Structure 1
């Protein structure tokens, strides 16, 4: 048999071969399978060419008998067909048997609040779980497209047919300050006279809509810019700086600071879970996405219980 002949094998022909072997007749096999004798004969001809063996020989009349080669092939073909059947059967995902390794692109706020909850949940159920983070205020979609990340957490809904997303939550901005170093700002005049800390300007000069003051007037009062929310605390502590930032920071990096709702309108903060289309139907990925949604619910519930 030539090295490449095995590529001519197919499950249909092997199934016909085994039926002929069991029935002891081409006609009986054709009747059982609901196909013509010609189809059976063509399949056997293909297999004879592949294995270079007649496989069946006539003993008289319509009766046939399998060759020694055919008998030796039967059990192995059954195993191959069984594996092919298993390959095409959707397996129920069982976390306790799964070894999961996920990389998530996210900002430091979600890393500190949501991902620890996600890790606790998944690690408690999965056989093995490792979690890696890539920190960015606006994680690049290329992380998903290139396979460098399995999930992204981003305040921006994606553009592109290959990226899928689901909104995880809506948060409201608050004003954070060190109550031991300055009084609570109450009026619009207090905010106009204050100095602020915000996130770094993005490429092109656009400021982050999550942390920087929304009005042009207050934007000009930003005295310090840092790359992450977690970097704000060290600058705010003992200073008169204000930070207009996501309310969820009360549970994380800015938990030691006082906070209030500002006396003017600020845009709501959205957070989305993003993944690549190729992972849409993956049972393990689906399960982890569901666990992430549950983790967000748990964190948000904690935020409501701590709300002042």
Structure 2
């Protein structure tokens, strides 16, 4: 088979179908119609005299021929993309991309506003889609290009996964401004334990960093309310006598009085994760560096509202 007879754009479609496992999702990623993807697949099948993908429930599973083909196709497209990215002096304002992030509550609330302010100025055509995948799925989602980056707590990485440190968040205790404790110069352990607490966690069970730190002291706090998101926690905080243990940077966004925790608790560390294959893209490298710089600015400019 001669490459002169094949439209090389078909290989791009082939890789996206292979990664997505679904023609509708492939069309969305390619920003074309599903019939256009189906037509491209039909041409590929004719060229290679193989179905390449077969329906199995809602997925398009690759045939043995497709499994053999994907490696060379990835390598060839990666080399071509990397060569173009290195040679191209692109203007971020010309980048048209839907950037998909797996990110949790704290990163979304603290980091994304800072990152978005940079994008609005330097790369206004980039769109953001943010959602949170389970940690055990991140490596697969990044490898399949279903997400571009993930922001999560530190974890062991293997193979082609890469990481960089983003944020190191100090925890404080927050109460509403007219809380009966708000006039106190500081909060001691007895006062902290005597209060009813809002506990924020995406998990259905288990404690947080404060609970783990207190358990080492043989102490237990009274978690009266368990919520999934800090935005809801701060809304409740403003209307109640509950107290909230929270990353410091979030307190700058809500009216509250904050105290240093009366015990040692570990900071919340957030890492940025990406797949090594994306490093061949100049656009991806620019976005990654912009994310890291946004995190550094957030830490540098963060107002420390704690009172000694």
TM over 0.5: yes
C-alpha contact 2:175 2:258 (8 A) present in aligned 1:
yes
Matched, 1:91 2:92: no
Return the alpha-carbon distance in structure 1 between the equivalents of residues 111 and 284 of structure 2.
17
> CA distance change for structure 1 residues 127 and 242 in 2, over 3 Å: closer, same or farther?
closer
- How far the C-alpha of 1:199 sits from its partner, in A, is 1.8
Return the alpha-carbon distance in structure 2 between the equivalents of residues 99 and 248 of structure 1.
31
Match of 1:132 in 2: 129
In structure 2, the gaps of 5 or more residues are: 6-78
> CA distance change for structure 1 residues 172 and 100 in 2, over 3 Å: closer, same or farther?
same
How many residues align structurally? 227
Match of 2:172 in 1: 174
C-alpha contact 2:161 2:275 (8 A) present in aligned 1:
yes
Q: Which structure has the larger Rg over C-alpha atoms?
A: 1
The range that moved more, 268-277 or 139-148, is: 139-148
> CA distance change for structure 1 residues 139 and 98 in 2, over 3 Å: closer, same or farther?
farther
C-alpha contact 1:194 1:241 (8 A) present in aligned 2:
yes
- How far the C-alpha of 1:106 sits from its partner, in A, is 1.1
Query: What secondary structure is seen at the aligned counterpart in 2 of 1:240?
Result: coil
> CA distance change for structure 1 residues 197 and 295 in 2, over 3 Å: closer, same or farther?
same
Match of 1:103 in 2: 100
Return the alpha-carbon distance in structure 1 between the equivalents of residues 175 and 133 of structure 2.
24
Match of 1:269 in 2: 268
Structure with more contact order per residue of length (Cα contacts < 8 Å, sep ≥ 6) = 2
Match of 1:17 in 2: none
C-alpha contact 2:109 2:250 (8 A) present in aligned 1:
no
Return the alpha-carbon distance in structure 1 between the equivalents of residues 136 and 82 of structure 2.
35
Match of 1:73 in 2: none
The range that moved more, 241-250 or 296-305, is: 296-305
Query: What secondary structure is seen at the aligned counterpart in 2 of 1:179?
Result: coil
Match of 2:114 in 1: 117
Tell me the alpha carbon deviations over residues 136-165 of structure 1, each in whole angstroms, 9 at most, x when there is no partner. Answer: 696941432332221111122343222211
Q: How does 1:58-97 map to 2 (within 5 A)?
A: 88=83, 90-94=86-90, 95-97=92-94
Match of 2:208 in 1: 208
Q: How does 1:214-229 map to 2 (within 5 A)?
A: 214-216=213-215, 219-229=220-230
Match of 2:143 in 1: 145
Query: What secondary structure is seen at the aligned counterpart in 2 of 1:278?
Result: helix
Return the alpha-carbon distance in structure 2 between the equivalents of residues 256 and 176 of structure 1.
10
CA RMSD for the aligned pairs?
3.1
C-alpha contact 2:82 2:282 (8 A) present in aligned 1:
no
Return the alpha-carbon distance in structure 2 between the equivalents of residues 136 and 307 of structure 1.
33
Return the alpha-carbon distance in structure 2 between the equivalents of residues 179 and 225 of structure 1.
22
Query: What secondary structure is seen at the aligned counterpart in 2 of 1:292?
Result: helix
> CA distance change for structure 1 residues 7 and 297 in 2, over 3 Å: closer, same or farther?
same
> CA distance change for structure 1 residues 278 and 286 in 2, over 3 Å: closer, same or farther?
same
